[in-house]
Chains A and B, each alone.
Chain A
């Protein structure tokens, strides 16, 4: 099955700085890579996703990059704000096999933005 590794497990940045979270995946057939944000005590929510036919996607201050050859993808947050403090999860899914329509999540990164 798919295995997703995520680094770092914790990340502390100053407000206004950039934050980068990296993930690697094992199944070369995976073709969908979402990122979820979970604020303290809340449910995870999708913030951005990317397909395997795209190398980069941006949405305001967040961006995701994908390197299929190396099987890794990253989340970039620019101009960080205190409200960005949360746990971020990457995930990967293979969509070609009807028996495997489920996401495999990374272990999470706790991002703390210091004011």
Chain B
């Protein structure tokens, strides 16, 4: 049981390049999320999904796209990377039952856009 796995762990891009971050979970969770973490700004929600085939925008969705074709995978795409997208990206998943919803986070992806 690996939990939540993110790939890659590190990446350096040039402005304008594209890339896809992959998140995989083996806990059969319905909900999956992409957050970005910047110094002094906490964790900000980019996009999330409440089930296979669904996606929704979070607080800071501009410049990103997502897909949830399989329940266990949630992909985050950057079509044309910008320096403002330099950040640490965390994927998370949860199995929401009732009110409480514990998030299980991946180990993060450090992305630098030059």
In angstroms, Cα B101 to Cα A49, docked, is 9
Residues on A facing B (Cβ under 8 Å)? 1, 6, 9, 31-32, 34, 36, 42-46, 49, 51, 89, 93, 95, 98-99, 101-108
Contacts of A104 on B, CB cut-off 8 Å? 45, 59
Question: Given that A1-B59, A101-B50, A101-B96 are contacting pairs, would A107 and B103 also be in contact in the complex, using a CB cutoff of 8 Å?
Answer: no
Q: Name the residue of chain B whose CB is nearest to the CB of A96.
A: B99
Question: Do most interface residues of chain B lie in helix, strand or loop, or is the interface mixed?
Answer: loop
Question: Given that A32-B99, A43-B105, A44-B90 are contacting pairs, would A6 and B33 also be in contact in the complex, using a CB cutoff of 8 Å?
Answer: no
Q: Is B103 within 8 A of A46, CB to CB?
A: yes
Contacts of A89 on B, CB cut-off 8 Å? 42-43
Q: Is A51 within 8 A of B42, CB to CB?
A: no
Q: Name the residue of chain A whose CB is nearest to the CB of B4.
A: A43
Q: Besides the contacts A32-B100, A45-B105, A105-B43, what 20 more A-B pairs have beta carbons closer than 8 Å?
A: A1-B59, A9-B40, A36-B103, A42-B107, A43-B105, A44-B90, A44-B103, A44-B105, A46-B102, A49-B100, A51-B99, A89-B43, A101-B101, A103-B45, A103-B103, A104-B59, A105-B42, A105-B44, A106-B42, A107-B40
> 9 A-B pairs, CB-CB below 8 angstroms?
A31-B99, A45-B105, A46-B102, A51-B100, A103-B45, A103-B103, A104-B45, A104-B59, A107-B41
In angstroms, Cα B100 to Cα A31, docked, is 9
Question: Given that A43-B107, A102-B58 are contacting pairs, would A6 and B42 also be in contact in the complex, using a CB cutoff of 8 Å?
Answer: yes
Q: Is A44 within 8 A of B43, CB to CB?
A: yes
